[in-house]
């Protein structure tokens, strides 16, 4: 864990616990080492630090390519951020970097919906998450966040303090549980993405 990541982790943990009473459950489902994807629902800017705080191990994550400028170009790689161009249908360069990180034993946080949902309802899973999972052939730990939509939803300008936030980790999915294989009659990667999102939806508070 780099010094910038550790500082960020401590700040996130203290802030989320003080302002929202962050609660973490099912943390034993997260392997302490080895490559894996951590797949979560997405409702708020609070989601990445909330999952990262509860993970208790360093996570890699995607960040908009436009942020890698100025000081961001120096700081973001040191906190395990990977640049992604989210304006196109798919960023193959970002997928290659993600696969390289996973091969090095990293845990990568991904959001199957691709963007924040404006409500508490789930958005459809995006095919790219399935492609990444099937190519990486690593376990996927589903995570469901509760309360972040109310605490700081997509269209809120200010957070609602003291809104409880809960992060719940589910049992890991083996590749055989989400990957239908290359001979699948339907779209292999979309089906994998749908299965991963389905595992998140099954998690209860």
Residues 26-78: tens digit of each pLDDT: 999 999 999 999 999 999 999 999 999 999 899 999 888 888 888 888 888 88
According to DSSP, the residues that pair with 63 across neighbouring strands are 83
For residues 177 and 164, what is the distance between their CA atoms, to the nearest angstrom? 32
Q: Choose between 122 and 66: higher pLDDT.
A: 122
Please give the pLDDT value at position 89. Answer: 43
How does pLDDT run across 130-151, given as a tens digit for each residue? 999 999 999 999 999 999 999 9
Q: CB–CB of 41/111 below 8 Å?
A: yes
Question: How large a percentage of the chain has pLDDT more than 70?
Answer: 97
Say what the pLDDT of residue 86 is.
66
User: How much is the mean pLDDT over the chain?
Assistant: 92
Flag the least confident range among 88-97, 142-151, 154-163, 185-194: 88-97
Q: Which domains does the chain have, with CATH numbers?
A: 3-7+19-201 (3.40.1130.10)
The CA distances from residue 91 to 64, 82, 96, in Å, are: 11, 11, 9
Tokens of 11: 């700040």
Claim: this prediction has a pTM higher than 0.75: yes
pLDDT surpasses 70 at 205: yes
Note whether 24 and 13 are within 8 A (CB). no
Distance CA 149, CA 117 (A): 9
User: For residue 204, which of 151, 168, 165, 171 has the smallest C-alpha distance?
Assistant: 168
Q: Quick one: pLDDT at residue 165?
A: 97
């Amino acid at each position: 864990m780099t010094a910038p990541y550790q500082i960020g982790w401590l700040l996130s943990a203290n802030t989320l616990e003080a302002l929202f009473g962050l609660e973490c459950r099912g943390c034993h489902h997260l392997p302490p080492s080895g490559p894996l994807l951590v797949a979560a629902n997405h409702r708020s800017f609070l989601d990445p630090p909330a999952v990262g705080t509860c993970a208790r191990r360093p996570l890699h994550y995607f960040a908009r390519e436009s942020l890698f400028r100025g000081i961001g170009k120096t700081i973001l790689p040191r906190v395990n951020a990977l640049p992604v161009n989210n304006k196109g249908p798919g960023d193959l360069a970002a997928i290659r970097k993600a696969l390289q990180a996973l091969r090095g034993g990293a845990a990568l946080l991904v959001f199957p919906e691709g963007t924040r949902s404006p409500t508490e309802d789930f958005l459809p899973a995006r095919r790219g998450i399935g492609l990444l999972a099937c190519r990486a052939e690593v376990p996927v730990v589903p995570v469901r966040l509760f309360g972040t939509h109310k605490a700081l939803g997509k269209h809120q300008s200010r957070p609602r303090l003291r809104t409880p936030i809960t992060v719940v980790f589910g049992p890991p999915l083996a590749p055989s549980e989400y990957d239908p294989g290359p001979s699948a009659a339907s779209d292999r990667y979309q089906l994998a993405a749908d299965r991963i999102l389905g595992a998140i939806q099954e998690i209860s508070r």
